[in-house]
Amino acid sequence: MFPVKGQMLSLQGPREALKRVIFGPGTYMVPREDGLIVVGAISERDAGFAEGLTPDGQKQLQRGITALLPVATSWPPMERWWGFRPCTPDEGPLLGPGPLPGLWLACGHHRNGVLLAAMTAELTASSVLGVPLSPENDALLNSFHWSRF
């Protein structure tokens, strides 16, 4: 696994300025109830484990806002943050029994770890407890086995 760094920021828009998530090339905007808009997220494959925000990364987000919703460039920025996405060579997670007895893997979710948390938990719990899976879930678990690498 290797890190894919990401940076994000939030803006304070007028309440209900944006009623749904909007996506554009390389940028998305997620509205919260109080008008806060979360703007994400750049992907820096060459940054390695270099911590912190960068002016280039923040400019890239700013360009995304200008392209996606020009009016939002006048809304005040609230917070900026960054993190490392745990990535595998095919960008899919590693799930299920690991290479050592008693070791299970649930990692490498790259940019979808939050989205996939419920499914990962279900597959991992069933796998650890030895509960039989449906054929579809069994196929899913097999396709994310570590041995594909």
Report how far apart the first and last C-alpha atoms of the chain are (Å, whole number): 11
> Does 27 engage in binding with ligand FAD (CB under 6 A)?
no
* Using rule CB under 6 A, residue 10 touches ligand FAD: no
Q: Which is nearer to ligand FAD, 114 or 129 (CB)?
A: 114
* CB distance 51 to 6 below 8 Å: no
Which stretch, 68-76, 81-89, 97-105, 126-134, contacts ligand FAD (CB under 6 A)?
A: 81-89
Is 86 near ligand FAD (CB under 6 A)?
Answer: yes
Establish if 89 lies at the interface with ligand FAD (CB under 6 A): no
The single residue among 115, 125, 128, 139 that binds ligand FAD, judged by CB under 6 A, is: 115
The burial of 84, by beta-carbon neighbours within 10 Å (0-12 exposed, 13-18 middle, 19 or more buried), is given as: middle
Distance (Å, rounded) from C-alpha 33 to C-alpha 1? Answer: 36
Q: Which two tokens stand for residue 36?
A: 């806060």
